[in-house]
Amino acid sequence: MYTVFTKPDEARIDWYVVDAAGKTLGRLASQIAHRLKGKHRPDYAPHQDLGDHIVVINAGSVRVTGAKLTDKFYHQHTGYVGNLKSIVLGKLLAEHPERAIEFAIKGMHVVGGSEHPHQAQQPKVLAF
């Protein structure tokens, strides 16, 4: 018995566009992270990068449940004493809508509007 692994040059990595308009932030983040890691593929191996490239558009119109717009904080510490910067999710979505999804998931390109600069890769639409 032996295990067959996909070679990096044999792997087919696709580009997808995800429209975040009206989607719940956490559920969308978990579904996209699943595709980014490559767990949807039958030849998945944790030591290989077989995930797809994801471009998220309309990040500003993502939905959250409950009182997260006023209660959920994102914190950043600069390294100096007393320099803890905090921003509430509602203000973050108003000022930088793409950062809320970037904080939820690493490793993808997020666009606040509906136009993105990756038209040359001919991404397919991915619906969740």
Give the span between the Cα atoms of 111 and 30, in whole angstroms. Answer: 18
Would you give the DSSP letter of residue 16? E
Average pLDDT over residues 109-124: 86
109, containing H or E segment: strand 109-110
The first and second tokens of residue 11, run together, are 């792997």
Please name each of the domains of the chain with its CATH number: 19-27+55-123 (3.90.1180.10)
Q: Round to whole Å and give the CA distance between 114 and 81.
A: 40
Q: How confident is the model at residue 109 (pLDDT cuts 50, 70, 90)?
A: confident
Three-state secondary structure call for residue 28: helix
Task: Report the distance separating Cα 44 and Cα 50, nearest Å.
Answer: 7
Once rounded to an integer, what is the mean pLDDT over residues 98-127?
87
Q: Residue 108 above 80 pLDDT?
A: no
pLDDT at 75: 93
Give tens-digit pLDDT for 41-79. 988 888 888 889 999 999 889 999 999 999 999 999 999
Rounded to an integer, the average pLDDT of 76-105 is: 92
| pLDDT score recorded for residue 71 | 96
pLDDT(107) > 80 = no
